[in-house]
A and B are shown apart, each in its own frame.
Chain A
């Protein structure tokens, strides 16, 4: 990791900083690495993209230059010539509507996953009963059951939210089950020796000891829900960022498709970063049980 002292310069200066803080020079270098490298690679990517587009190897419909995509970005973000964003909705609104679907859907799936995980991790026969079904569900691509959800639930919000919930459920259920089943027996015994009831033990030992794994499962679940977003918005997805991508694709509007893809990817990065930070704050004891 970046905390490894460099060989060229002595790692510990005479006036050692307080524990937990890295030496300032080191921190600067770490920041450079964390910021400059990704930015550099992004720049390189843009240059290569521009070169590829300028070479006209493929038509502009297939590979639009970055500038065109930028124009499309500005177009769908603002009102211009009396047209508001894309199909009457700005990019940020499309994204917001999709994020709300993800929040509802993944939220439901995560809640169900935690409950199932707790039950399956504690009661052996429940695990034997449900595990094959969850594994079955997990291996299915969301598109496979989307058609079924349309038949059952129509084309409004219900199938979309359900799809995201079904996609988010298995990772959380699986990780929570494993973590609960692996709760250190020694700590359960210690709690019992202090006079804990069965419920006390679940609340004060099982749940916190499973929390790090569950949070990892939640990150995975949000990732899965995110990658199912376009699928969820395939039918009647407008407004919605996935619906926008689908709709623009129908008109060979590659710049808007690219704007949509980039918006999904960037917001996904941001959310994953937030979840990672939440994990660090919420479970500082990770790896110390």
Chain B
């Protein structure tokens, strides 16, 4: 039998490093208070940054002050140089999540796995190494050139750091990587392949080829270069593309009975997970949101709940002209008239789009909404797009609401979709 079990899966730890800073508590306080993590791209951040039309980004604040990311705190200089930045960020986020869950000293490391995804992986390391061999010759390439950049090395490094010998894997489904990683990690536990999974997403793609590549796709915001905090504005008529961001977010998932037995703090249960493909276009979403609809529908079916039971949707909502309204169409098709009673917000309005890490960060915000009964706002929603008049898009200011079920969506290039549902555990 391929699947042995059907176990319940709960979240017992969380960690985040985002443009809002380091730490879940810090991130949540800022997002609830309407703070933006989006800034102007420093002209020396990568070669040619000045030439690009989009000059705004969500950059993780570096430094030694509270809430700032200091790589020296987690890695020796020697080890820093063996890993791309996206792995540094993931190690920090997973340190917080693992400490939070209190699983570091658990004896059975064979049952603890890791599944952390990334949309692009170590592209800045790759770029630097290509430059190096162009300037010298092929024999001058570091032996770390490959292991420092491959996507699954995040999982590898986390497992090396903590000695975890459970399933170790990675998912690269562009901007859906984070949500797919959590969903697959949950299934890994549900099926009995692991008792605990550290999962999520990590991304840092601030290098000429990636930012210029998104610019070439006309995917990035270009009209708010002098007011970066205004640039990410999902569903606003002034939206003009997403804002590229970096960061990492990880969750510790655990089999319910195991968590209960050891007295772990349980944030929420994962009750639904759905996946789909668009089968339509490389980068454009299906015009009627058929893939997004199917992914949410399948998540709802696995959760075995009715459409009037969802209390909050953390939308993919990237602030692109097409994507934002496609998602609304898909939600409307699935939830019908109930949509009026379901607040929908996009936290990308504050963080920018963390690509492969976004789904994991948004899972954390969805869980915090359940935990605190607060809905994080959609910033910069000044003139809502027509066709959203009847909706509560949680404009600009956080709202209070008891949340029992929260749904989070992620959609990626290639037409890949994932939806996940969290439930309050009483």
Do A and B form a real pair? Answer: no
